[in-house]
Amino acid sequence: MVAILGYSREQILHAVQGMYTLVARQPGAGFHFPTGADAAATLGYPRAELDAVPEALLERFAGVGYALDGDAVHAGDVVLDVGAGAGIDTVLAARRAGPHGYAIALDLTPAMTRLLGTTLREHGLTNVGVVQGSAERIPLRDSCIDSITSNGALNLVPDKRRAIAELFRVLRPGGRLQMADVVIDRPVTVDCDSDPRLWVECVVGATVEENLIELFRETGFEDIRINRRLDYFAHSPSAQTREIAASFGAHTVELAMRRAERQPPLRRRLLHRYNPVRLGVHLWRHGWLGLLALALALVSCYGTLALASVLPVVGFAFAPPPGAWSASILAFSGIALGAVALGHRRHARRWPFALAMAGAAILVYTLLFRYHPLVELAGFALLGCAVFSDRRLRRRREARILGLNPGR
């Protein structure tokens, strides 16, 4: 069973369906996100376009941007709206595709698909179809879609890599994808399993912007461009949601791209995915860089000493160059120190950095001037205490912002 930030996939799907069932049944109930015609206009939809949408659908609008602000839909296209919700973008896409085109609304929530199907029949909109299903397993054949649109759906999907692979599969080679979705500048690292509803706040499940773009590129999408960024959460009626969004740098990004003729070779995808620089940035953003650097410093120190003691016993001579040995320990210790220093920006506590500075200074002294194993161990102890304290403080701050138990 896949777990993300402490959630199971089933918890996520249940929370998403529960929230958007309420939107379908009680659109005026009041939500943490902006809804309705005014929200759509605020996000950039022209009023003339909105006037063509049935009122029953428009009052249930819950998008995060203007997903169709461009030329992704052409006359005669078969269009797929992923996570269609009330189907506003589906209806607009069908109008742009014209009488020889067709639009398909795909949504996870039964209450939404029933409402949309009924409303479309009542208004005689015949070039629109409704399919209940997940973006992770789209019930359509390969290469059958000319254009895909999506508005605020991908951040709610548990397995984004799989969902993007599905978008690639159903889109024909050269087909177009245009979407709006929530992204973040700083990832959520604390477990949120005590309150699955946080996933539908649109922040907890969101991806760092450049990571999302790289996922599309790795899958085989080309000519990726950012049409617009906007502060979607500034329009949230919930003060807590606005605070959460500001803390993680959450915002909407509107993207446009096209599908390549074929997916990149597996070897290239793996090299791209596990690029050392990207991995380093990922570890730092998730608060693991300091711990990893500390571990590597300890391995460089005590692992090298262990090898120097054990290898001669089995007939191998091993004498590490003292300069290189000391340099590697100090280099990794310096990275750990830097990670703790950057943590001050998150939790505003200075004492972890002071501890890290003291530990690093002791290591410099004992490795470069006067070596003593106990002094060296004391330096590592202080540095380790600083690294673990910094991570704990970061997570406590996130938990407080998200309204979780700070002791988690």
Could you tell me if residue 408 is inside a domain? no
- Number of domains observed in the structure of the chain: 2
Kindly report the number of other CB atoms within 10 A of residue 265's CB atom: 9
| Whether residue 270 is found in the same domain as residue 284 | no
Domain of 203 in residue numbering reads as: 3-274
Q: Last residue of a domain, which of 215, 241, 274?
A: 274
Determine, yes or no, domain membership for 407.
no
Give pLDDT tens digits for 331-340: 999 999 999 9
Residues 285 and 265 in one domain: no
Residues 372 and 245 in one domain: no
Q: Over the Cα atoms of the chain, what is R_g?
A: 26
Q: What is the pLDDT of residue 53?
A: 96
Can you say whether the dihedral through the CA atoms of 25, 28, 30, 32 is positive or negative? positive
83 & 161 share domain: yes
Single residue among 274, 300, 324 that ends a domain in this structure: 274
- Measured CA to CA, the distance from residue 43 to residue 188 in angstroms comes to 25
Residues of the chain short of pLDDT 70, as ranges, are 1-7, 190-199, 318, 404-408
pLDDT value, residue 357: 96
Note whether 263 and 284 are same-domain residues.
no
- Burial code of 40-63, b = ≥16 C-beta within 10 A, e = fewer? beebbbeeebbeebbeebbbbbbb
Predicted TM-score (pTM) above 0.95: no
Does 126 lie in the same domain as 35? yes
- Are 259 and 285 in a shared domain? no
Residue type, 227: N
Q: Are 41 and 161 found together in one domain?
A: yes
Establish if 316 belongs to a structural domain. yes
What local confidence, expressed as pLDDT, does residue 405 receive? 61
Q: Backbone phi, then psi, for 396, in 5-degree steps?
A: -65, -40
Answer yes or no: is 41 within a domain.
yes
Sign for the CA dihedral angle at 371, 372, 378, 384 comes to positive
Encoded tokens for 159: 């397995």
Q: Residues 266, 313: one domain?
A: no
At residue 401, the pLDDT reads: 77
Confirm whether 162 is domain-assigned: yes
Q: Are residues 25 and 155 both part of a single domain?
A: yes
The verdict on residue 292 lying in a domain is: yes
**Residue 2's pLDDT is what?**
36
Single residue among 246, 274, 302 that ends a domain in this structure:
274
244 and 295 share one domain: no
Q: How far apart are CA 394 and CA 219, in angstroms?
A: 32
The pLDDT value recorded for residue 9 is 79
Q: How far apart are CA 389 and CA 182, in angstroms?
A: 31
Domain assignment of residue 230, yes or no = yes
Look over the chain and give the mean of its residue pLDDT values, rounded to a whole number: 89
CATH number of the CATH domain containing 258: 3.40.50.150
**216 and 344 together in one domain:** no
Predicted confidence at residue 279, as pLDDT, reads 77
Instruction: Determine, yes or no, domain membership for 245.
Output: yes
Distance CA 254, CA 232 (A): 11
